[in-house]
Amino acid sequence: MPLTAAAAAREILTGLHDVMASRGSTQAKLDKVVDLIAEAMKSEVCSIYLLRDNQLELFATHGLRKEAVHLTRLAMGEGLVGMIAEEGRILNLAEAASHPQFVYRPETGEERYHSFAGVPIVRLESPVGVLAVQHAESRRYEEVEIEALQTVAMVLSEMIAAARLVDGARRGRVRSGGPLRLSGLKLVTGMAKGEAVFHQPRVVIEHTVAEDTEAERARVYDAFRRMREQIDAMAKEAEFGTVGEHQEILAAYRMFAYDEGWGRRINEAIDSGLTAEAAIERVQQRTRSRMREIDDPLLQERMHDLEDLSNRLLRIVSGRMGTAAQTGLTRDTVLIARNLGPAELLEYDRRRLKAVLLEEGSLTAHMTIVARAIGVPVVGRLQDIRHSVNEREMILVDGDNGSVIIRPTRSLASGFDHRMALSQKRRAQFAAVRSLPAITRDGLEVSVMVNAGLAEDAAALELTGADGIGLFRTEFQFLVSATLPGRERQQRLYSKVLDSAGDRPVTFRTLDIGGDKALPYLADAKDEAENPAMGWRALRLSLDRSTLMKAQARALIEASGGRVLRVMFPMISEPWEYEEARALIEEQIAWARKSKRKLPARVEFGAMLEVPSLAEMLDQLLPRVDFLSIGTNDLTQFLFAADRADPRLAERYDWLSPAILRFLKRVLDAARAADVPVRLCGEMGGRPLETMALIGIGAENFSITPAAVGPVKAMVRSLDASAVRQRLEQLLSRPPRNLRKALTDWARKHSVAVS
């Protein structure tokens, strides 16, 4: 905050301190507070709304009609004030009445005021009120004015809590009694049970107004030093070595810890008169409000990392460092948090940590990537989970379905134990099958490879029993990195993957970034689109930014020296895109040859069929490719014009639809006639029933998730390929209303292991 803004905030805080220390009723104090803020900000209106009986009541005002006080009430989510409280966001409007959420209350006399700004008053992470200002002039408030309002709202929350004027945190009452079942987003699969343990007790800020700003500043500097030492130590002690995606996650995390801009903003908050704790929380609240305005999931994950560090800094400065990791886990534990950073996850005893439950969380979060690597089930998007369970209560976690049972009855726990035992037994059976070849009962050899994106995935190939890596997602290295990975860094990763794979083949997919996998360090407003899945992404972006693709090509060529380089290009719509991409790789091979670099023993080029239009040009494409890969995830959403990220459509379009199977069969038949091998990549091939159907239409090569290798091999070894192909021909010629049911019935009748 500039000096003028800091001075204005400090002036208000000094006045607030005097008001809070004075005698008189709380109502009288609030009346003085709105007058004080209005005068300091030269605002015609200043109002305070507080949450009582789940309604926002006008408690004090300067500028609106006094008779409206305690009369005007708005429900959560109603009007501008209700929207601020419900969503915990800031509003800054030049013309309030033009906002679709605007609600006019005639008793307030606010019709002559045009501009409006409001910030939530937050206590224990939940909005308990709203502080708003208004002007007759139509204008947006300056950023410094909004920041001053936020600072004042923080101090007000302390005053309001002390006077017990509000309901308390809206979600603050823990449910108790019988069992509670919650559903969330499955982030890392697996089943587990254990006692609820909270990652960290919330640091409640008791004092917000500083008496000695220099002393507060010194406390923050010391806390920053100690936090950086902790992060550096964690990076050295991490179990993933010195190279790899996990190390890059910690490097990005460390970058935030040393970010000067973050420290400067906390310093500016101290300048305004806040204590060290209040200044950190004040900046954190601003971060949260900005997170709600960000649509880019990757930028949101970066903000989550910053919030994780803010929590750590707050605990250090307040002397309350006792997270559950520091105090130690004594029993099998299900960890509960609003969100969790990757470094914090690594602090826990892996022997006791059985699962993690998050109020937030996403599939691309750094913590999710690390949790998947160390095998800890995670369920996210569990709204209210921290306020739905008490410490040490039993929790059952089904990460395979994204469901959680809190306080299970004896019968529920017994049933869960039985399912978990069956799951473990099945895993043991699949483990036994993993080392066996995937050959059908009538002798058809099926290739089962895995999809990968981390160096650790390649290292675990021996454990999976897979034939190789059919799809290595090279973008993972870019997604977890704070900066653009250079050619040498890429080369080290690709070399490590090839070394780990040994004699098993590895197929590298060139970068599939853009769309929903945007990178902050490559952000370009031109790249934004209303439908990112069909936007400027994957090969389209790589061909446009050819230096990016050239660097990757050189890294792949040098890493593959003396070995076979298998490379394929994603999101091809027409053959000319494949030709351009292949020509670019061949140019880099010519460069390497001229530079006397060690060359790959052989290069195999492939195309990914994800865009339906490419199927109409197979006669032109197939003579030029060494292999074809079908990306069923994107292909399905493009065929049905159904966004796979939209939960309303997730179950609407079935992979076992006759339309998909007929389309795929046409592609497989064309490739077979051209003697070009085809591999099915994506989730479809990792489901035994779907894999059975794919074999039925002629598929013989699959690349799937490592966890699916055992179940798919078990299905293949129980299947008669010629019989299922005959059945699929019948079913696709005259499709039944429910093809999935027809295939399930056939599989059961013929003892095929599809479940």
**Dihedral of CA 104/105/111/113: which sign?**
negative
For the record, the structure tokens of 17 come out as 């301190």
Mean pLDDT of 576-593: 92
| pLDDT above 60 for 108 | yes
Residue type, 312: R
CATH topology for the 180-411 domain: Enzyme I; Chain A, domain 2 (1.10.274)
Q: How confident is the model at residue 223 (pLDDT cuts 50, 70, 90)?
A: confident
Q: Is the pLDDT of residue 243 over 70?
A: no
Rounded Cα distance, 357 and 228, in Å: 27
Question: What does the block give as tokens for 402?
Answer: 């994204």
Q: How far apart are CA 602 and CA 505, in angstroms?
A: 12
The token duo for 117 is 């700004």
Q: Would you put residue 514 in left (φ > 0), alpha (ψ -120 to 50) or beta?
A: left
Q: Are 362 and 479 in contact (CB under 8 A)?
A: no
pLDDT of 483 over the 50 cut: yes
| C-alpha span between 510 and 553 (Å, rounded) | 8
Provide CB contacts within 8 A for 53, sequence distance 6+.
Answer: 167
**Continuous segment of H or E residues that includes residue 385:** none
Instruction: Report the residue count for the chain.
Output: 755
| More confident position, 302 or 359 | 359
- Residue 440: is its pLDDT beyond 50? yes
Q: What are phi and psi of 324, to 5 degrees?
A: -60, -30
| Helix or strand run (H / E) with residue 120 | strand 115-123
Q: Among 69-78, 439-448, 505-514, 595-604, which stretch is predicted with the lowest mean pLDDT?
A: 505-514
Q: DSSP characters for 709-741? A: HHHHHHHHHT--HHHHHHHHHHHHHS--S-HHH
Burial class (CB in 10 A: 0-12, 13-18, 19+), 328: exposed
Q: How far apart are CA 173 and CA 390, in angstroms?
A: 10
Return d(Cα 68, Cα 61) in angstroms, integer: 9
Residue 653, pLDDT > 70, answer no
Residue 144 token pair: 């410094």
| Count of alpha carbons within 13 angstroms of residue 177, beta-carbon side | 5
Question: What fold is seen in the domain 3-163?
Answer: Beta-Lactamase (3.30.450)
Say if residue 115's pLDDT is above 80. yes
Q: What is the DSSP string of 271-311?
A: HTTB-HHHHHHHHHHHHHHHHTT---HHHHHHHHHHHHHHH
Nearest in space to 283 (alpha carbons), one of 145, 147, 468, 170:
147
For 619-645, what is the mean pLDDT? 85
CA dist 620 and 502 (Å) reads 34
- Rounded Cα distance, 572 and 568, in Å: 10
| 605, β-bridge pairs | 567
**Residue matched to tokens 């530079």:** 595
180-183 vs 394-398, strand pairing mode: unpaired
pLDDT in tens, 149-168: 888 888 788 777 777 776 54
- CATH code reported for the domain at 441-749: 3.20.20.60
Q: How confident is the model at residue 1 (pLDDT cuts 50, 70, 90)?
A: very low
Name residue 368's amino acid: T
Read off the pLDDT of each residue in 216-231 and give the average, rounded to a whole number: 85
Report residue 627: phi and psi, to 5°. -160, 165
Q: What is the longest distance spanned by two Cα atoms in the chain?
A: 91
Backbone angles phi, psi at 198, to 5 degrees: -85, 135
Exposed/middle/buried for 46, CB within 10 Å: 0-12, 13-18, 19+? buried
Kindly report the average pLDDT of the chain as a whole number: 82
From CA 342, how far away is CA 169, in angstroms rounded?
28
Whether the per-residue pLDDT at 242 is higher than 80: the answer is no
Neighbours of 635 (CB within 10 A): 24
* pLDDT value of residue 151: 81
Pairing of strands 378-380, 394-398: unpaired
Closest CA to 470 of 686, 243, 698: 686
**H or E element at residue 406:** strand 403-406
Percent of the chain residues past pLDDT 70, beyond the cut: 81
Tell me: the pLDDT tens digits for 522-540? 555 444 444 545 554 566 6
Compare 201 and 93 and report the one with higher pLDDT: 93
Q: pLDDT band at residue 203, thresholds of 50, 70 and 90?
A: low
Residue 357 CA to residue 384 CA, distance in Å, equals 11
Residue 338: strand, helix, or coil? coil
Q: Taking residues 447-453, report their average pLDDT.
A: 89
Joined together, the tokens standing for residue 327 give 């105090």
Whether the predicted pLDDT of 133 surpasses 80: yes
Q: Give the lowest-confidence range in 23-32, 429-438, 440-449, 599-608.
A: 429-438
- What are the start and end residues of each CATH 1.10.274.10 domain in the chain? 180-411
The neighbouring-strand residues paired with 127 are 122
Who wins on pLDDT, 479 or 546?
A: 546
Q: Which residues contact 595 (CB under 8 A, 6 or more apart)?
A: none
List where CATH 3.30.450.40 sits in the chain.
3-163
> What is the C-alpha separation between 247 and 342, in angstroms, rounded?
10
Q: How confident is the model at residue 9 (pLDDT cuts 50, 70, 90)?
A: low
Q: Is the pLDDT of residue 484 over 90?
A: no
pLDDT above 90: residue 512: no
DSSP string of 122-154, one letter each residue? EETTEEEEEEEEEESS--PPPHHHHHHHHHHHH
Structure tokens at 697: 């239409």
**Listing from the earlier edge strand, what are the strands of the sheet with 45-52?**
73-75, 55-62, 45-52, 126-135, 115-123, 91-93
- What does the pLDDT look like over 663-716, one tens digit per residue? 999 999 999 999 999 999 977 888 899 999 999 999 999 998 777 888 899 999
